[in-house]
Amino acid sequence: MEQLVDIYLQSLLIAILFEFVLTIIGLPFAALHKFKTMPTAKSYLTEMLLINILTSPILAFSILAFTFILKVRNLA
């Protein structure tokens, strides 16, 4: 059980870092081409943060499943 929690925490960290990198890459691109006013920029940033918060556990569980399958097959 302890090993499963450890793998989940690692996958959660990987998911958060992956989403953070995608947000950092996508935000300036969207800011240059999409926003005309400051309120739209703020709403876009808020939406991106909420999407990241909501999808982090889902992505973490998929990474957990992938890692668990690799460990069962002795590939990782």
Q: What digits encode the pLDDT tens for the residues 11-60?
A: 999 999 999 998 888 877 777 777 777 787 788 888 888 999 999 999 99
- The predicted model gives 51-70 an average pLDDT of 92
What is residue 76's predicted lDDT score, i.e. its pLDDT? 63
End-to-end alpha-carbon separation of the chain, Å?
A: 18
Range of the domain at 42: 2-72
pTM reported for the whole predicted model: 0.76
10 Å Cβ neighbour count for 8?
17
Q: How many structural domains is the chain composed of?
A: 1
